[in-house]
Amino acid sequence: MVERLANLSEKMPHWAWNTFIILFSIGIGMIIKSILVPIVRRQSQKEYSYSVMRSIITNFNRIFTFFIPLLVFSSMLPLMKFNPDTHALFSKITEILISVCFAVVIIRLLYVFEDYLYHRFDVTKANNLRERKIRTQIVFIRKLLITLIILITTSIILLSFESMRKIGAGLLTGVGIGGIIIGFAAQRSLGNLLAGFQIAFTQPIRMDDVLIVEGEWGKVEEINLTYVVVAIWDKRRLVLPINYFIEKPFQNWTRTTAEILGTVFIYTDFTIPVERLRQKLTELLHTNRLWDGKVNVLQVTDLRERTMEIRCLMSCRNSGDAFDLRCYVRENMIAFIQEHYPDSLSKTRLSLASE
């Protein structure tokens, strides 16, 4: 095969031979793409079900259509008829592109492994505390590894240039003062990075945790290397530095479990029959799927000059259900009082002294 190519190269003009090699490499890429694209489309039309092959094809579809032709071109580069300067230029560009593609391949491998772990630890089930713990660690480690891969790849590319080596050697002479300046400048960034490690493994917060932070209710949407994104209930996004969750207090409603107690306060006159309200609360909870069947309490928790404070206490599977159930109980309890005991609503009494 090599002899045939050598004979063919001798018979063809230089420009035609070089064009042939380039077109041959591009043709390899088009053939691979024509094979992979229908497979990806067929897989995407199926109902969602995890498979390792599907994850590999999805993640490596685009990079393989570029990486494999580049490897073919690199292997045939010595056969191309260029002058020494042009050949060196093409060799350097090919070397850089192969380094970049290899880094992308490693990153895609991380995504394939992440897909497997997401399938192994499903966060969509009801009791997903362990799965959310592992997912938080997976996301942080993946982002950290991607950052390291990019930095290492960039370093390899820069060190392949002789001029960059000289610049690096020159910078080492000023490392004393420069190191101090960089240390002060990067102090906060390094602090955030170390806080990220602490959060990933001690886990005061996890992915999808429900938080009360800065007076806002929301869920943890992203945990990045230096900041956390909290999705607020009204679709706003609260972005906080990651060390905020190490240094400042906040509420985590799903730290050990998603279960939560909901409360509804009702203020009525002293004449209302409390036992009848207790029965009504029980009736409302038993007919609502949001109640988890564990806690059902109605108590008089305070007496004031003009009103009696009644607290309805109920348990739910998560904070979202608790909010909806509280609204449901509040609306129906008030409607019940208005219909059956309208005189027992909160009111002010006046006593007129006779002359």
- Which class for 140: exposed (0-12), middle (13-18), buried (19 or more C-beta within 10 A)? buried
Longest Cα separation, the chain:
131
| Beta strands across the sheet bearing 291-303 | 260-268, 308-316, 291-303
One-letter amino acid at 206 equals R
pLDDT number for residue 289: 93
pLDDT number for residue 56: 76
pLDDT number for residue 172: 44
Q: Which two tokens stand for residue 247?
A: 């240094």
283 in Cβ contact with 338 (< 8 Å): no
Instruction: Name the CA radius of gyration of the chain, rounded.
Output: 33
Q: Which two tokens stand for residue 260?
A: 């939560």
Residue 219's Cα: distance from chain center in Å?
A: 11
pLDDT number for residue 171: 44
Q: Which helix (H) or strand (E) holds 22?
A: helix 14-45
- Domains of the chain: residue spans and CATH: 2-120 (no CATH), 187-252 (2.30.30.60), 260-344 (3.30.70.100)
- Averaged pLDDT, groups of 10, the chain, 355 residues long: 58 65 70 66 58 73 74 71 72 83 88 81 65 76 85 78 57 47 54 69 81 90 85 91 86 81 91 92 93 92 89 90 93 92 76 61
Helix (H, G, I), strand (E, B) or coil at 293: strand
In degrees, rounded to 5, the angle at the alpha carbon of residue 332 between the alpha carbons of residues 292 and 339 is: 145
Cβ partners under 8 Å of residue 53, min gap 6: none
DSSP 141: H
